[in-house]
A = this chain, B = another copy of it.
Amino acid sequence: MTELEKGPTGRRRGRGARERILSASQQLFREQGINRTGMNELCAAAEVSKRTAYQHFTGKDELVAEYLRRFDPSVLSGVFDRTDLTPRERLLAAFDIPPTTPLCPYIGAAVELNDPQHPASQYAREYKKAVAARLADTAREAGAADPEQLGEQLALLIDGAAARSRVLNTDAFPTAAAIAAVLIDNAIPATAGDDRQREEASS
């Protein structure tokens, strides 16, 4: 999406089938899940010949891994890079995921693939660790006493909200945000150099 993608050789000939394949993956894998989306269907949606798809990806497994790697982490990086917010606000903003996101695709992939060795599962693990690390960094910036712990806790809240939203078909992120607010206030010493306005989450 961000930039016109080059083929495997890097010469960028043809008409960008690879991009269309990955774009269709984003939509279909998320809407229907990985296992319920066949390669035929995916290629039809991408308006790409099946043969072409298998010239770009050795198999569905590789495509799935690339799909996760390419997943636009709009929520993630979009929040952490905002300089208009204090660190504490950034931590809370991570829970503002309004209507979209049927389920964090990393959780979905881990469940559907059911194989920790699968490249996609490995990447999902890396991603989750990376999110926790960025949360920990921001927590440190916000002056948390134990930033690593707070980062891990907030990451768990995000995953909990995602999973619970999926099962119950409702938005659980407000609940998670309320918990996050409590944890953040508990973890940041009162003398931290941050604007500590106290906001109660009353639903």
Q: Which residues of A contact B (CB under 8 A)?
A: 32-33, 35-36, 103, 106-108, 110-112, 114, 116, 121, 124-125, 128-129, 149, 152-153, 155-164, 166-169, 172, 175-176, 178-179, 182-183, 186, 203
A122's nearest neighbour on chain B, judged by CB, is: B169
Instruction: Please name the residue on chain B nearest to A36 by beta carbon.
Output: B114
5 A-B pairs with CB atoms under 8 Å apart are A106-B167, A156-B164, A157-B160, A160-B164, A160-B176
Starting from the known contacts A125-B168, A162-B163, 19 additional A-B residue pairs (CB-CB under 8 Å) come to A33-B111, A33-B114, A35-B112, A110-B166, A111-B111, A111-B112, A116-B169, A128-B167, A153-B178, A156-B161, A156-B179, A157-B160, A158-B160, A159-B163, A159-B164, A160-B164, A179-B179, A182-B182, A186-B186
Instruction: State which of B35, B103, B160, B183 has its C-beta within 8 Å of the C-beta of A156.
Output: B160
The verdict on A182 contacting B175 (CB below 8 Å), with A125-B168, A167-B124 known, is no
Among candidates B107, B160, B178, residue contacting A166 with C-beta atoms closer than 8 Å: B107
* Central interface residue in A32, A106, A166, A183, by most chain B CB within 10 Å: A166
